[in-house]
Structures are given as structure tokens and as C-alpha cells.
Amino acid sequence: MKSNSEINIDRQINRDDLIVIAGAGGFIGGALARYFHDLGYTRIRAADRKPLPQWYQHVPGVECLSMDLGEKENAIRAVEGAAEVYNLAADMGGMGFIEHFRVECLRSILVNTHLIEAAWRAGARRYFFSSSACAYNTDLQRDPHVRALKESDAYPAMAERGYGWEKLISEMFCQEYWAERGLETHVARFHNIYGPHGTWFGGREKAPAAISRKVIEAMDSGNLTIDIWGDGSQTRSFCFIEDCVLGIDQIMHCDRLIATPINLGSSELISINDLVSMVEDIAGVKLKRTYDPAAPKGVAGRNSDNTFIRSILDWEPHTPLRTGMEKTYAWIRQQYADRKAGKRVVTD
């Protein structure tokens, strides 16, 4: 199995070919823009509906467009002249957001509908769509000791309401644009991406960031308690951001993965209770736990079966959760201190 440093990708694009990243004002999109910039690609166009001051990362030399790609004209403008288009634009967040704002999640289909059509008309060579493990059949995720989900488990379809159905339908768009119109498309199903430069407060944050923030708040306030959504038995796998962007690059440039959805996630399963314990250990504190059974908690269990990605790429996301959480916790702790000191932070 290859390590990250052993990966050699034949992208078949020039350094000055235009790479367009939709949703680049967000967590994963911003990380992807920095990734390609650091590789030496000189023409990167980033688009996001958020005002520029609210973008999570600002990458030097990247063309930044603040526009709603759910509008057809904006999608056309964004992909003009593009060699490759990466669609990471979506209205989404952690379970608190996904369960309470299903209409907003569903409306993200407008972005993919307009963007993939515009990319095809613009003559783009490749198109990437960021799907989600929320597309999987929820009947297979009722037990915390869930078996890992393989790609075929999306059908028969019973995706997570709102967000999951949008992803599944958009995957179908990608497959049909390849079958009918010859646009090379690639689809990755993300499993809980986390890391520095992500949302850590405001209601859209996912469990690793939310738990880190709650631990930091408890220590800062002296009220050494933490509230956990559900009973804490829910299980998940979490994929570190550096593995995610490297995985996107490999999947986008693999001829065996054209119009073929594939898992992009860690297979290291952990319960929410154990994740809390991990963050407590990183922080050097022990907190009293309270539980909120009425809070949004999602499916009982979800893990990534990485058999397929290993067979195709001889690679899988491998950053240990403890390693990634140490980096994430340290970054959020600094962000918390900055905000408390009156400095501006934008990841909400």
C-alpha cells in the first residue's frame, strides 16, 4: 500500500491550464485550491457564494469570484476556459444543520445541474463531484457496530433525507453526462472530512470540531462538563483533510474511475464517546458528561469500506485519527484564543 509521499499522479494537464474550484471559500474547496497552488499550478479560479472576507482560506495568486453558482449565468462565467472543474459547492454542515435545513441541502442540486452543463459546453476535460456517505442506504446504518459501507450499498436507494438524496441524484447527473455526452466525470463519496481551517462554531461544524470546541470552552470557563448529542454510542469514521485532497487528485486523474462513485474516507471506526475521550486526553482534562437524546445524531453507525479504493489506487486515507485530532485541536484552540482576544475568525 502506497504512502502519501509515494503517490505519482499523471494529470495530463499543463501548469497553466485553468483549474476551477467551486465552493473554494469553504473547508475542502479552500484546501484543494491551496493544494494545487502548492503543486505549482498557476491558473486557479475559485468561486463561492460567500463574500470574500468570509472565505476560510485565501490562496495567493488564485482568481476569486464571489458568486452563487446556483444561478445559471454565474456557473457559465465560473467555468469559462476551464480544463478541469471541481464541484465542492454545497449548503451543508454537521448533523445539526443537515437535519434542520433539508430544503437548503436539496437546493444544492441547482449548483451541480448548472455547473456540469456549463463545464460540458465550455469543453472542460474533466469534472469532479463531491458526493457523501449520506447517499448510502440508511437501513444499513441502524447499528453502531455497522459493517463498513461499500460502493454498491447506495442501492436500493434510501439516502439520508435532504442532503443524501441531493448527492445521489447529482451522482446520476455525472454518470449520464459521461454516458450520453462524453464529459469525463469523477465522483468521490466523502466520509466526514475534518481538520484545520474547517468550521468549528456556528452550527455547521462536525463532531471532531464541535467536541474540540466544547472541551476548550469547558476548560476556559471552569465548568468542566460537556454535552453530547445522543447517547454517545453512535460510530463514525473521520478522514483527515490532507488525505482528502490527495484522494481527490488521484480519483480525478484515474481512467478506471470515470463516472464511478468511490468511497473517500478512513476505515478507522470510533464511537462519539471514545472521540470525546480522545480529545480529553489531548487536552489533558476529564469532563463530566451529559447527554441530549433529542439532539440531532444521524444514523447509528457509518464506516467506509476501502476495498475498492485500495484495489484501484493501491492507497487509502491513512492518517491516524489521533494524529489528525491533535492537529485539529491545536488549530481550534488557537482560533478560540484569537476570537476571545477580539481578532477576526471567519470559519462559522
DSSP-derived 3-state class of residue 123: coil
**With contact defined as beta carbons under 8 Å apart, do 4 and 246 qualify?**
yes
Q: What share of the chain is helix, strand, coil (3-state, %, to 5)?
A: 45, 15, 40
**With contact defined as beta carbons under 8 Å apart, do 253 and 10 qualify?**
yes
Which residues make Cβ contacts (< 8 Å) with residue 210, sequence separation at least 6?
94, 200
First to last CA, the chain: 37
Among residues 56, 163, 177, 194, which one is catalytic?
163
Rounded-to-integer distance, Cα 68 and Cα 347, Å: 19
Burial class (CB within 10 angstroms; exposed 0-12, middle 13-18, buried 19+) of 71 = middle
Rounded-to-integer distance, Cα 339 and Cα 342, Å: 5
Rounded-to-integer distance, Cα 76 and Cα 110, Å: 13
Identify the CA nearest to 166 among candidates 88, 233, 220, 112: 112
**With contact defined as beta carbons under 8 Å apart, do 133 and 269 qualify?**
no
**With contact defined as beta carbons under 8 Å apart, do 188 and 130 qualify?**
yes
The answer to whether residue 136 is catalytic is no
* Catalytic annotation, residues: 163
